[in-house]
């Protein structure tokens, strides 16, 4: 059960900042006495101007509360806030409380590894979660040093933001940290397997669950190598050494995000330790994540935003620098190709939603609302804009400004205005127009070719007027010809651009700018012959992004998308193209084709042929086979693969592929609970548990859907990964007869889920259980009606707005191209 709490508003944070200076935190945690709760004793020392304020605290019970030696009444604690009447000068607050271990990926998350029954704990203090671990003034601009003391079971290892020592069995003492924001504070505790190294005077560490120790050992050399390379490059670019002591990278179970940049102890989701074969693109994703979190040690950790409306100062910079450094100094020099397939559409789609927001100054009035803005705009769009700024300023000015920013505000907080002042002082000139048009104005310009008029048209997004100049490249090719690439500046509503009759024109294929580029029909048709001869992988990525944008806006026929797949896939040599494009066709395109069954058959045939002809043992072959499994409609074929009779040499049915096959058999109704349970019992790993949940929810029977719904309403409780998998498994194309009764129930039950879960998981469940297969006006009307309910939780509303927009777009595609 989740107890509703108040989320800190910006105005409240400003008032508390004006009143207080936090001197230090001393936190003593007992993780050994109980599996459901832990004791937390916090001593906060701070100075005050004198007067009332409050401390953030989310316990299950309070033993004692003392302010300046005087007891406080625990009954005053209200929805996560304890009122304080401070005195002018020095104050000391001591809170002795009992806290709950959580299973939603926030606070102090405790999980049990099904492989061996061992318990693991990690701290995730981001966005309103820190007060469920320790009492604190939970806002980013009240930084303070932390000293931790931890009691843990004797066989546990404990790692934190600062170096720690086991002073006696089960008792750990940690050094005092530099000043940290509350949301950076973490502990990672349990019988973890550790690997240690050192580079350039920095102690390095890796850790993961004991059951995947051999997988961590296998990946350790690559992870340490990337870490060394990134440290060297960041030190070269910034001229400021990493200042937080040890650099530990902890791979932890059931983590919501990709990773969290906690100084001294970065946490990652542990599927990034690979227990099955993965594609090169998945390895690039891990590499860019490692580099992204390392970039945060400067952008975010040395200098932290004062408030969440400047969150882009963290994420956009880390996204840009993570991709750049990965491409420049690691073995993954094709990171920008991966970025095109993996991240571009994430940002563009988010920027076209009704929920779009500016990159900077997004008006986050409280922390809960700010959490919803950690999206493709803050990451992918912001990164693209910073890449444009770097191209304009050049490295010398760009990094001189960044270094000045880090130096002026070291271990403190700053705003976007501070950063841009540093750039302007470094020689950037007046950046006010750039800031206004690119960072403070939401939505993408649409750039499209008007072939008949001989112009390229630039259209600002509705409701968000802007005057943006786009410096981009254009790739064009006459029928049967070769691609010609030329620069084009689009700085007006119309820009002259003559094109040969019948030629394909792809605008901004190298993604030099941030814009929605839509292909015209002549280009789409010409691509069917040009794509098979296009040997530039980045150009192919740009082509596919253009097609995806066109489809998203009901401007490209699903039939044409299928034709392009069949034309281009045989020559594709980048596994990211297969890994991202084929699932998009399966989940977005096939169901909207005139004949969905025939579309699925075509996708399966293309994927199977690619898997059979790709180099044996290659990750290209693997990505094609993954898609072949997920598109299969013949249970006999799937059974043959499950038995190990794969379609080509070089493939081996490992844990990941085995469960992929079982899930697809479940979708088809060609397996049962007994077989799925037997598979889980045979390999009771964390991955197996999640995929087992997905498979059971995917079964085409009423019992499976009722079981799934019990998890949505909170009647049955499971950790975060399983809950999301159950939601996605429940709604399957072709199972509408079973799921239609749950459409009305979704809108009736959704508001009440705030009583069962909170934060990240609350919003994720709202999204994963949305009735995405119900393409009806009634479903859309119910979504819009609930959105207008002013009592609806803001995080739920945001996801509902996005899902309603997606549903409306899918309905528009169907109405235009297959209205029957």
Whether the Cβ atoms of residue 72 and residue 66 lie closer than 8 Å to each other: yes
Confidence of residue 3 (pLDDT cuts 50, 70, 90): low
Q: What average pLDDT does range 732-749 have in this prediction?
A: 97
- Torsional class of 115: left (φ above 0), alpha (ψ -120 to 50), beta (otherwise): alpha
Q: Residue 310 and residue 301: Cα distance in Å, rounded?
A: 14
Predicted TM-score of the model (pTM): 0.96
Q: Judge residue 238's burial from the number of C-beta atoms within 10 Å of its C-beta, 0-12 exposed, 13-18 middle, 19 or more buried.
A: buried
What are the structure tokens assigned to 500, written together?
């040969």
What is residue 190's predicted lDDT score, i.e. its pLDDT?
A: 98
Q: Above 90 in pLDDT, residue 368?
A: no
Please give the pLDDT value at position 362.
Answer: 61
The fold adopted by the segment(s) 193-444 is: Neutral Protease; domain 2 (1.10.390)
- Give the other-Cβ count within 10 Å of 487's Cβ: 9
Which parts of 323-454 are beta strand (E)? 412-414, 445-450
Residue 675 confidence (pLDDT) above 90:
yes
Residue 364 has pLDDT above 70, yes or no: no
Residues in the chain: 820
Average pLDDT value for residue range 514-536: 97
pLDDT band at 647 (very low <50, low <70, confident <90, very high): confident
Mean pLDDT of 641-655: 90
> Which residues are designated catalytic?
293
CATH architecture for residues 1-190: Sandwich (2.60)
Query: Which tokens go with 239?
Result: 């001229």
Name 198's bridge partners: 203
Q: What confidence tier does 758 reach under pLDDT thresholds 50, 70, 90?
A: confident
135-139, 365-369, 788-792, 811-815 — which is least confidently predicted? 365-369
pLDDT in tens, 420-430: 999 999 999 99
- Confidence bin at 659 (pLDDT 50/70/90): very high
Backbone angles phi, psi at 498, to 5 degrees: -85, 145
Q: What is the dihedral of CA 324, 328, 334, 337, to 10 degrees?
A: 20
The arithmetic mean of pLDDT across residues 167-176, rounded, is 97
> Mean pLDDT over residues 129-153, rounded?
97
Q: pLDDT confidence of 365, banded at 50, 70, 90? A: low
313-349 residue pLDDT tens: 889 999 999 999 999 999 999 999 999 999 999 999 9
Residue 679, pLDDT score: 98
DSSP 3-state of 37: strand
Listed by start position, the domains of the chain span 1-190, 193-444
What percent of the chain has a predicted confidence (pLDDT) above 90?
A: 92
Q: What is the pLDDT of residue 309?
A: 82
Q: What is the mean pLDDT of residues 246-274?
A: 97
| pLDDT for 1 | 40
**Residues 544-554 pLDDT 10s:** 999 999 999 99
Tell me if 29 sits within 8 A of 148, measured CB to CB: yes
Q: How confident is the model at residue 480 (pLDDT cuts 50, 70, 90)?
A: confident
Name the phi and psi angles at 661, rounded to 5.
-65, -45
Q: What is the mean pLDDT of residues 512-518?
A: 97
Task: Give the Cα separation of 518 and 643 in Å (integer).
Answer: 45
Closest CA to 463 of 442, 480, 481: 442
Which of the 8 DSSP states describes residue 240? -
- Closest to 202 (Cα-Cα) out of 272, 294, 300: 294
Strands 303-305 and 494-496: unpaired
Phi, psi of 231 (to 5 degrees): -60, -45
Q: How many CB atoms are closer than 10 A to CB 214?
A: 12
Q: How many CB atoms lie within 10 A of CB 89?
A: 10
In whole angstroms, what is the distance from residue 545 CA to residue 550 CA?
A: 8
Structure confidence at residue 4 (pLDDT): 60
Q: What is the pLDDT of residue 343?
A: 96
Residue 50 above 70 pLDDT?
yes
Burial of 52 (0-12, 13-18, 19+ CB in 10 A): exposed
Nearest C-alpha neighbor of 7 from the set 164, 130, 89: 130
| Whole-angstrom distance, CA of residue 664 vs CA of residue 698 | 8
Nearest 5°: phi and psi at 201? 85, 0
Considering only CA atoms, which of 731, 737, 733 is closest in space to residue 765? 731
Question: Which pairing describes strands 89-100 and 146-151: parallel, antiparallel, or unpaired?
Answer: unpaired
CA distance 12 to 6: 11
């Amino acid at each position: 059960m989740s107890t509703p709490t108040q989320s800190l508003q910006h105005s409240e944070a400003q008032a508390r900042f004006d009143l207080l200076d936090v001197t230090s935190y001393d936190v003593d945690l007992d993780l050994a006495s109980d599996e459901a709760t832990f004791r937390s004793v916090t001593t906060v020392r701070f100075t005050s101007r004198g007067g009332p304020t409050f401390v953030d605290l989310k316990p299950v019970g309070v033993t004692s509360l003392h302010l300046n030696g005087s007891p406080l009444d625990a009954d005053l604690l209200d929805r996560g806030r304890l009122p304080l009447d401070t005195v002018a000068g020095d104050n000391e607050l001591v809170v002795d409380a009992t806290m709950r271990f959580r299973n939603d990926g926030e606070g102090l998350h405790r999980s049990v590894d099904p492989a061996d029954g061992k318990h693991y704990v990690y701290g995730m203090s981001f966005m309103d979660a820190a007060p469920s671990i320790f009492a604190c003034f939970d806002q980013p601009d009240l930084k303070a040093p932390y000293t931790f003391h931890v009691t843990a079971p004797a066989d546990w290892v404990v790692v934190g933001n600062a170096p720690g020592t086991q002073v006696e069995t089960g008792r750990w003492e940690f050094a005092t940290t530099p000043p940290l924001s509350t949301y950076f504070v973490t502990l990672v505790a349990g019988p973890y397997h550790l690997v240690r190294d050192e580079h350039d005077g920095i102690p390095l560490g890796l850790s993961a669950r004991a059951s995947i120790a051999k997988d961590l050992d296998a990946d350790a050399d690559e992870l340490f190598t990337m870490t060394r390379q990134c440290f060297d490059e960041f030190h070269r670019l910034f001229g400021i050494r990493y200042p937080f002591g040890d650099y530990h990278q902890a791979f932890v179970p059931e983590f919501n995000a990709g990773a969290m940049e906690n100084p001294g102890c970065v946490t990652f989701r542990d599927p990034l330790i690979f227990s099955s074969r993965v594609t090169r693109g998945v390895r690039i994703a891990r590499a860019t994540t490692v580099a992204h979190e390392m970039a945060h040690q400067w952008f975010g950790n040395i200098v932290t935003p004062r408030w969440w409306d400047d969150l882009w100062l963290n994420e956009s910079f880390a996204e840009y620098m993570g991709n750049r450094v990965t491409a420049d100094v690691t073995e993954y020099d094709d990171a920008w190709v991966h970025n095109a397939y993996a991240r571009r559409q994430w940002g563009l789609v988010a920027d076209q939603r009704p929920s779009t927001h500016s990159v900077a100054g997004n008006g986050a009035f409280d922390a809960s609302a700010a959490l919803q803005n950690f999206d493709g705009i803050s990451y992918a769009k912001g990164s693209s804009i910073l890449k444009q700024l770097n191209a304009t300023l050049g490295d010398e000015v760009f990094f001189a400004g960044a270094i000045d920013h880090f130096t002026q505000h070291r271990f403190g907080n700053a705003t976007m205005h501070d950063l841009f002042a540093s750039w302007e002082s470094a020689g950037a000139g007046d950046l006010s127009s750039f800031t206004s048009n690119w960072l403070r104005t939401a939505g993408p310009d649409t750039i499209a070719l008007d072939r008949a008029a001989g112009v390229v048209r630039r259209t600002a997004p509705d409701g968000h007027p802007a005057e943006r100049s786009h410096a981009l490249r254009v790739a064009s090719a006459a029928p049967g010809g070769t691609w010609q690439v030329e620069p084009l500046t689009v700085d007006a509503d119309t820009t002259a651009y003559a094109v040969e009759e019948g030629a394909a024109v792809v605008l901004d294929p190298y993604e030099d700018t941030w814009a929605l580029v839509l292909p015209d029909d002549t280009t789409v048709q010409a691509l069917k012959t040009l794509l098979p001869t296009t040997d530039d992988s980045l150009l192919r990525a740009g082509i596919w992004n253009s097609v995806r944008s066109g489809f998203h806006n009901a401007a490209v026929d699903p039939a044409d998308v299928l034709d392009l797949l069949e034309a281009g896939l045989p020559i594709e040599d980048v596994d990211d193209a297969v890994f991202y494009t084929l699932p998009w066709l399966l989940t977005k395109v096939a169901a909207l084709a005139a004949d969905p069954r025939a579309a699925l058959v075509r996708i399966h045939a293309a994927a199977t042929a690619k898997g059979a002809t790709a180099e044996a043992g290659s990750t290209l072959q693997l990505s094609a086979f993954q898609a072949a499994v997920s598109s299969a409609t013949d249970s006999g074929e799937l059974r043959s693969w499950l038995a190990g009779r794969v379609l080509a040499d070089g493939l081996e049915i490992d844990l990941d592929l085995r469960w992929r096959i079982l899930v697809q058999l479940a979708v088809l109704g060609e397996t049962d609970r007994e077989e799925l349970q037997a598979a889980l019992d045979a390999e009771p790993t964390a991955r197996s548990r999640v995929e087992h949940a997905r498979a059971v929810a995917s079964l085409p029977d009423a019992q499976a859907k009722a079981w799934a719904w019990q998890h949505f309403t909170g009647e049955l409780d499971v950790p975060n990964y399983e809950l999301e998998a159950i939601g996605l498994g429940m709604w399957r194309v072709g199972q509408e007869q079973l799921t239609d009764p749950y459409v009305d129930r979704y809108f009736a039950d959704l508001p009440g889920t705030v009583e069962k879960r909170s934060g990240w998981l609350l919003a994720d469940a709202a999204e994963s259980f949305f009735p995405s297969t119900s393409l009806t006006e009634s479903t859309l009307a119910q979504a819009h009606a609930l959105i207008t309910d002013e009592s609806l939780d803001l995080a739920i509303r945001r996801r509902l707005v996005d899902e309603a927009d997606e549903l409306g777009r899918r309905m528009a595609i169907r109405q235009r191209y297959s209205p029957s």
